[in-house]
Amino acid sequence: MYAIEADNLHRTYRTSSGWIRRTRRTITAVDGVSFQVPPGELFGLLGPNGAGKTTTIKILNTLLLPTGGTARIHGLDVTRHTAEVRRRIGYVFGGDRGLYDRLSALDNLRYFAELYEVDPRVQRRRIEELLELVGLTGRQKERVEGYSRGMKQRLHIARGLLHDPDVIFLDEPTLGVDPVAARDLRAMIAELVRSGRTVLLTTHYMFEAEELCDRIGVITSGRMRALGTPGELKRHAQDRVVVEAEVYGVDEEQLDALRAERGVRGVTVDQRGMLQVIVVQCDIDGDAEPERFRSFVRQSLAHLKLGRVEVREPTLEDAYVGIVTGQEAAAPETTAVLS
């Protein structure tokens, strides 16, 4: 039996705005998402902002009903067996909110221990263990309002684990956390999986997904665009090379000129101080192609101050960018789903 099963999930939101002439809109946030996560797996849901990751998690954790499709946690339907599902899941989201700022960490945990029905006889021990696990021992009596972003996030994780759930949803847990604290959080997440729990993690950091996840689903505009192990996803880009060029002062028009070239699949720019690193993803069909693309890029940018121009093998990040940018243009029917 799977720990998490999503079967053709759909979710639309209706919004209305304006007072006198109310305009109503229907937003499709999740548009037919299916996947299965076996027990003990760390599954990553990856996608740009607004892709539908949080909505998917909220359907799975019972906060939202699907407008179509079904979902199960350990075989329990999230719509029909809501209470049982809630006892088996933990939910942790990123950001500054979601804790009682004026209470100490200890009192926050005590309160949620009541809400999540942790047996009072084991509460104290459980809370101590969790404080230890998330590295807040010694700070537990301080009010949460004085906590750093990273400490709050660790407390969030402790809260999510109070009732010892075996399925844990982590929605962008490293959002806005400094790099060192984020690394600690990733170690903590890896530890959760090692202890046998099933974790569904959303993030938009590719390296984070690559480091942690057994399998990754890439979602854009509410649809699963690709699904597989990091290695399998990389193969999405196997008939591709990447030309990376360092340049100063490139503008949108010149980028569009690059994009218009036959075989160029996507162009992205990474600003590093004054320097811009242009990443050109190219489809190749022949051995001479990588060099052709490199001289093409070099020539197109020749009138600018140009640094290093190199051809390299695509990384997982490139595969991800290719999937996301490619799918925005492509018709959904052409989506290739690996599994």
Partner 1 sequence: MNGFASTARLVVVGGMTSYRALFNWTTPSMYIGTLFASPLFQLLFFVYVGRGLGVAGDEFLIVGNAVLSCSVAGIFGGTMAIANERRYGTLGTVLLSPRSRAAIFLGRGLPYVLNGALVSVTMLGAAALLLGWRTPVDRLPALVLTTLVGAIACTAFGLTLGSVGLRLRDIWLVTNITSALMLLLTGVIVPSGELPALLRGIGSVLPLTHSVAAARHITDGDGFGAAGPDLLIEVGIAVAYTLIAVVLLRVFETEARRRAVLDAM
Ligand X SMILES: Nc1ncnc2c1ncn2[C@@H]1O[C@H](COP(=O)(O)OP(=O)(O)O)[C@@H](O)[C@H]1O
Which parts of this chain interact with partner 1 (CB under 8 A)?
13-14, 58, 61-65, 83-84, 86-87, 89, 91, 93, 95, 97-103, 107-108, 110-112, 114-117, 119-121, 159
Among ligand X, Mg ion, partner 1, none, partner that 65 touches (CB below 5 to 8 angstroms by kind): partner 1
Distance separating alpha carbons of residues 330 and 332, to the nearest angstrom: 6
Q: Which is nearer to ligand X, 15 or 334 (CB)?
A: 15
**What tokens were used for 295?**
């001289």
Q: How far is the CB of 46 from Mg ion (least distance, A)?
A: 12
Query: 246 and 269 in contact (C-beta within 8 Å)?
Result: no
Task: Return all residues near 303 (Cβ < 8 A) that are at least 6 apart.
Answer: none
Residues 41 to 60: which contact ligand X by CB under 6 A? 47, 49-55
Q: In angstroms, give the least distance from the CB of 21 to Mg ion.
A: 31
Residue 86 interacts with, from ligand X, partner 1, Mg ion, none (CB under 5-8 Å by kind): partner 1
Find which of Mg ion, ligand X, partner 1, none residue 159 binds, CB within 5 to 8 Å per kind. Answer: partner 1
Binding-residue total with ligand X (CB under 6 A) = 12
Label the pairing between strands 68-73 and 4-17. antiparallel
Q: Which of residues 17-36 bind ligand X (CB under 6 A)?
A: 27, 29
Half-sphere exposure (Cβ direction) of 34: Cα atoms closer than 13 Å: 9
Cβ count within 10 A of residue 204? 17
**Residue 120 partner contact from partner 1, ligand X, Mg ion, none using kind-dependent CB cut-offs of 5 to 8 Å:** partner 1
Q: Which is nearer to Mg ion, 222 or 266 (CB)?
A: 222
Nearest to 139 by CA among 113, 158, 123: 158
Asked if 54 interacts with Mg ion (CB under 5 A), we say yes
Smallest gap, in angstroms, from Cβ of residue 201 to ligand X?
A: 12
CB of 56 to ligand X, least distance (A): 7
Angle at 198 between CA 32 and CA 105, to 5 degrees: 110
* Partner touching 52 among ligand X, Mg ion, partner 1, none, CB below 5 to 8 Å by kind: ligand X
Contacting residues for 297 by C-beta, under 8 A, at least 6 apart: 243, 245, 258, 278, 280, 309
Helix axes 105-115, 120-133, angle to 10 degrees: 130
Query: Which residues make up the interface to Mg ion (CB under 5 A)?
Result: 54
